[in-house]
């Protein structure tokens, strides 16, 4: 029956996936166009051609292009009079095409300060360079003028001439200079002569209008940021306005069109659908109103990327391979290959989904549907992302960003899937497979000796004494306690503990290890040499913990199973109730032990942590004792025991409570140590984690140890993206032709993953962690606040071998406001950099630029973890006890009497 339900789930997921792809790629219908295009811009350059590099197409290639456009157009427009272009009108005549000839004007001719009469020998290097450039431009322009005149005389199918193309708009000529060129051509030809400019130039220069025989108007709604649905109205609005102002001049729409790909501009979005719908609507209306027009352009021109951004290469009705992009009659598809994409996405997800459904028979159907849909969604997003180069084009620098963002997006998707896996197993399992509780623990048949090791380093004596008192009260008949004070220099710190151990009796032994190597692991290895030979179990407890009397009585019997290598209980904390900062981090810790450890325990893959842990002595000594080469000797030991075939037992039950770090600095240093240590473990044990290889670990154990630390690597990428985004924003502002906005499909996952993490956190906290809504939110803020320090630790862990052991101080005084700010100074700088860049890009690009808004949104989201760090640091600096008591409705605790205080 369960196999049948799995098959049904698989079938539903496949059908829904295909249905979503179909919905996203439905054909768009609109008015059809059945006529011929009046005129079209014609550039015969193919993919390997480039006029900027003097790579011209051969005559047979040009002839093929003319033969292709001739059935659907009446005329072509040429832009220059180069020798190659001068051959085109005669070829066009064979296909009964008329021609609008053009002369290309170029260079810095508009410089009024240039003195051509100054002797060359008296010119500075800059003046000489400018002089040479202008002389070259003068020569080139004279060649263009003479060339277009010759074209007109030799080709009767040329019906008009356009001298210069947007030269006033771009500043390449002044109006008087352009008028001289127009007059020069008009004196030699008998055809109508004009120049091509947008409406703003024609409206600003009526003297130019008087010189031309007709107005050649460029109206390109894309460059004005007009949305496609309003573009045709915009074109005719510009056209009609110019006709009203200059009623005696014929107006030709010399350039009108829409790009099929490239970056968006404000509300204008390039796409095949938008291009098709714009052209259809325009052509129908232009025919109805009988206007003179020229569509830009016949074929996509890849060479234009060098100076017209990525969008400049995609204005063709045919693509660069001479394939029509769309039908003028049939419904239009953005991606004709979408069925292939949909099938590829289905196949990519098929094997993981089948494996998941086959192996997760313990899940309810809702859980199977949820995770299978999540896997399918991730596969579809991967296929869609990899297809982006087929439908969009990049600026040069964006190609590099694509190569970085694609792998990063894959990692982010994996992180989401990891969180989804955890959420699925903990929410929709019919029953947990490995549940250990005090109520179901084995009954003791004997009481093997336990040696409890208590490492200390510069700890407050009174705090350690409380821990020793709790150990002395253990309800277990056979144990010893070894207190190991290592590297504490001040006798006033360690001697009171030594004296107290002497008072507690023979069970308690104190060792002061002066300058001792190996940090905590070194001290614990020394303890093994002093452990009672009869001891079978080693317990490790931090110096700030107060344990329950039944700790050993409940957990030690699990060692009667010879496969059990260690038994673990959660870390938990006390004395946080009236401190907002400590409340936040207390519940942030709780999430790992009530969610992550419970999920890992299902596959015998828990993390061993160095307090509230009991270890089989034989297993510890046989596998190599405590590792002194890593600063997380506890987690390393757990992995090593699993590699050697031992099992773990995890009871999600609190048997002891320690103290939380006192401030944000201590908190993030502790997490830095854990993250850096994870890198050390991965480098030390990578061979054991290789998939599909017998290394002593099961596939599930390998999965948990790799994916458990993968989100920390995602934090490292997050920090890298934060820094890169600053430089990218500067590039967008300073060099917009080189730097382009990352496509939304790459940057939006940053927002999506952030939202997914928050949903995962809040959902599982609400079902698995016994805290209220305020504590859930506080734990999320505290956890986010560690992003930078974790990321920094991971980068440092990748490129370095070791760092000194970082102690987490306890019982320290609260920091002042200034110190609180300084605790998050680096995070604050990163936060402000994101805010500044978001404001800068909106100020420069404008709010109407969709890409700018998306980029600003991403920058703002990226700043949230750094804001969380500053918030947590400032809260840790505040005296919040009064506020918390007021919030909880608790009266302030009375001061202790002198006798009580002494105790």
The DSSP result for 378-425, as a single string, is: HHHHHHHHHTHHHH----HHHHHHHHHHHHHHHHHHHHHHHHHHHHHH
Q: What is the mean pLDDT of residues 346-359?
A: 86
Q: In terms of Cα–Cα distance, which of 323, 351, 350, 349 is closest to 337? A: 323
Model pLDDT for residues 595-637, shown as the tens digit of each residue: 999 999 999 999 999 899 999 999 999 999 999 999 999 999 9
Strand order in the sheet with 573-574: 546-547, 656-659, 573-574
Residue 698: predicted pLDDT: 94
Q: What is the mean pLDDT of residues 119-124?
A: 52
Q: Are 809 and 876 in contact (CB under 8 A)?
A: no
Q: Are strands 214-218 and 75-77 parallel, antiparallel or unpaired?
A: unpaired
Model pLDDT for residues 179-238, shown as the tens digit of each residue: 999 999 999 999 999 999 999 999 999 999 999 999 999 999 999 989 999 999 999 999
Residue bearing the bigger pLDDT, 309 or 69: 69
Confidence of residue 817 (pLDDT cuts 50, 70, 90): low
Model pLDDT for residues 826-838, shown as the tens digit of each residue: 999 999 999 999 9
Q: In terms of Cα–Cα distance, which of 312, 260, 444 is closest to 737? A: 312
Place of tokens 């299902």: 602
Dihedral sign, Cα of residue 405, residue 406, residue 409, residue 411: negative
Strand order in the sheet with 508-513: 508-513, 479-486, 449-456, 535-540, 613-616, 564-568, 647-650
Q: How many other C-beta atoms lie within 10 A of the C-beta of residue 582? A: 25
Model pLDDT for residues 317-329, shown as the tens digit of each residue: 999 999 999 888 8
Distance between CA atoms of residues 202 and 208, nearest Å: 7
Distance between CA atoms of residues 405 and 409, nearest Å: 6
Residue 896: predicted pLDDT: 38
Q: Cis peptide leading into 129, omega within 30 of 0?
A: no
Residue 362: predicted pLDDT: 80
Q: Which of 338-342, 383-387, 865-869 has the highest mean pLDDT?
A: 865-869
Residue 845: predicted pLDDT: 85
Burial class (CB in 10 A: 0-12, 13-18, 19+), 735: exposed
Model pLDDT for residues 419-466, shown as the tens digit of each residue: 888 898 888 888 888 989 998 899 888 999 999 999 999 999 999 999
For residue 495, give both structure tokens: 């001697």
Q: How many other C-beta atoms lie within 10 A of the C-beta of residue 234? A: 15
Dmax (CA) of the chain: 119
The model's pTM is: 0.78
């Amino acid at each position: 029956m369960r196999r049948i339900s799995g098959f049904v789930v698989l079938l539903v997921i496949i059908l829904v996936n295909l249905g979503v792809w179909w919905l996203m790629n439905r054909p768009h219908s609109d008015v059809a166009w059945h006529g011929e295009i009046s005129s079209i811009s014609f550039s015969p350059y193919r993919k390997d051609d480039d006029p900027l590099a003097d790579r011209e197409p051969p005559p047979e290639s040009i002839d093929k292009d003319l033969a292709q456009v001739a059935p659907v157009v009446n005329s072509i427009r040429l832009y220059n009079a180069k020798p190659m272009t001068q051959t085109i009108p005669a070829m066009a005549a064979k296909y009964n095409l008329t021609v609008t000839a053009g002369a290309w004007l170029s260079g810095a001719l508009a410089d009024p300060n240039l003195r051509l009469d100054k002797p060359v020998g008296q010119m500075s290097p800059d003046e000489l360079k400018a002089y040479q450039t202008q002389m070259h431009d003068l020569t080139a322009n004279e060649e263009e003028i003479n060339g277009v005149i010759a074209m007109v005389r030799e080709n009767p199918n040329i019906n008009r001439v356009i001298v210069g193309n947007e030269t006033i708009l771009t500043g390449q000529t002044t109006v008087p200079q352009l008028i001289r060129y127009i007059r020069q051509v008009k004196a030699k030809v008998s055809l109508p002569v004009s120049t091509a400019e947008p409406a703003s130039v024609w409206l600003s220069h009526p003297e130019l209008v008087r010189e031309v025989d007709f107005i050649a108007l460029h109206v390109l709604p894309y460059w004005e940021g007009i949305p496609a649905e309003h573009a045709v109205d915009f074109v005719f609005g510009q056209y009609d306005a110019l006709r009203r102002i200059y009623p005696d001049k014929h107006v030709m729409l010399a350039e009108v069109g829409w790009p099929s790909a490239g970056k968006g501009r404000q509300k204008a979005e390039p796409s095949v659908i938008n291009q098709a719908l714009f052209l259809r609507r325009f052509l129908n209306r232009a025919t109805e109103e009988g206007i003179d027009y020229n569509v830009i352009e016949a074929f996509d021109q890849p060479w234009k990327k060098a100076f017209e951004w990525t969008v400049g290469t995609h204005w063709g009705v045919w693509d660069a391979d001479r394939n029509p992009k769309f039908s003028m009659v049939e419904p239009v598809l953005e991606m004709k290959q979408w069925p292939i994409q949909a099938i590829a996405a289905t196949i990519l997800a098929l094997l993981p989904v089948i494996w998941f459904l086959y192996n997760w028979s313990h899940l309810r159907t809702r859980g199977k549907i949820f995770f299978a849909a999540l896997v399918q969604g991730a596969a579809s997003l991967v296929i869609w992302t990899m297809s982006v180069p087929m439908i969009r084009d990049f600026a040069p620098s964006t190609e590099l960003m694509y190569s970085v963002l694609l792998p990063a997006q894959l990692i982010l998707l994996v992180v989401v899937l990891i969180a989804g896996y955890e959420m699925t197993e903990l929410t929709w399992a019919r029953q947990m497979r490995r549940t250990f509780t005090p109520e179901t623990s084995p009954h003791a048949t004997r009481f093997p000796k336990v040696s409890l090791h208590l490492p200390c380093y510069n700890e407050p004596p009174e705090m350690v004494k409380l821990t020793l008192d709790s150990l002395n009260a253990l309800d277990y008949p056979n144990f010893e306690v070894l207190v190991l004070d290592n590297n504490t220099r001040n006798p006033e710190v360690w001697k009171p503990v030594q004296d107290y151990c002497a008072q507690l009796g023979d069970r308690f032994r104190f060792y002061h290890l002066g300058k001792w190597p190996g940090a905590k692991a070194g001290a614990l290895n020394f303890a093994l040499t002093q452990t009672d030979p009869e001891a079978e179990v080693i317990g490790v407890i931090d110096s700030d913990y107060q344990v329950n009397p039944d700790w050993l009585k409940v957990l030690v019997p699990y060692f009667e199973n010879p496969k059990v290598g260690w038994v673990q209980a959660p870390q938990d904390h006390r004395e946080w109730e009236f401190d907002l900062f400590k409340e936040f981090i207390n519940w942030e810790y709780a999430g790992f032990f009530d969610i992550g450890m419970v999920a890992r325990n299902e596959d015998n893959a828990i993390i061993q942590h160095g307090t509230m842990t009991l270890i089989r002595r034989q297993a510890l000594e046989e596998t190599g004792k405590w590792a002194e080469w890593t600063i997380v000797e506890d987690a390393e030991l757990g992995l090593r025991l699993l590699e050697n075939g031992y099992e773990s037992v995890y009871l999600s039950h609190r048997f002891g409570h320690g103290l939380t770090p006192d401030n944000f600095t201590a908190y993030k240093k502790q997490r830095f140590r854990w993250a850096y240590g994870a890198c050390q473990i991965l480098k030390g044990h990578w061979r054991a984690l290789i998939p599909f290889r017998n290394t002593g670990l099961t596939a599930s154990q390998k999965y948990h140890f790799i994916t458990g630390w993968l989100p920390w690597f995602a934090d490292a990428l997050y920090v890298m993206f934060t820094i890169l985004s600053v430089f990218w924003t500067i590039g967008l502002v300073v060099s917009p032709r080189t730097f382009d906005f990352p496509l939304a499909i790459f940057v939006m996952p940053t927002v999506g993953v952030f939202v997914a993490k928050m949903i995962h956190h809040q959902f599982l906290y609400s079902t698995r962690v016994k805290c209220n809504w305020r504590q859930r939110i506080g734990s999320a803020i505290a956890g986010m606040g560690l992003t930078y320090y974790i990321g920094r630790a991971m980068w440092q862990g990748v490129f370095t071998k070791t760092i000194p052991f970082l102690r987490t101080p306890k019982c320290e005084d609260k920091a002042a406001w200034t110190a609180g700010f300084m605790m998050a100074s680096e995070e604050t700088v990163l936060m402000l950099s994101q805010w500044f860049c978001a404001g800068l890009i909106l100020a420069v690009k404008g709010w109407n630029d969709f890409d700018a808004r998306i980029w600003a949104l991403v920058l703002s989201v990226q700043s949230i973890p750094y804001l969380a760090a500053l918030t947590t640091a400032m809260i840790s600096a505040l005296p919040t006890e009064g506020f918390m008591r007021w919030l909880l409705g608790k009266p302030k605790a009375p001061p202790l009497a002198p006798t009580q205080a002494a105790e």
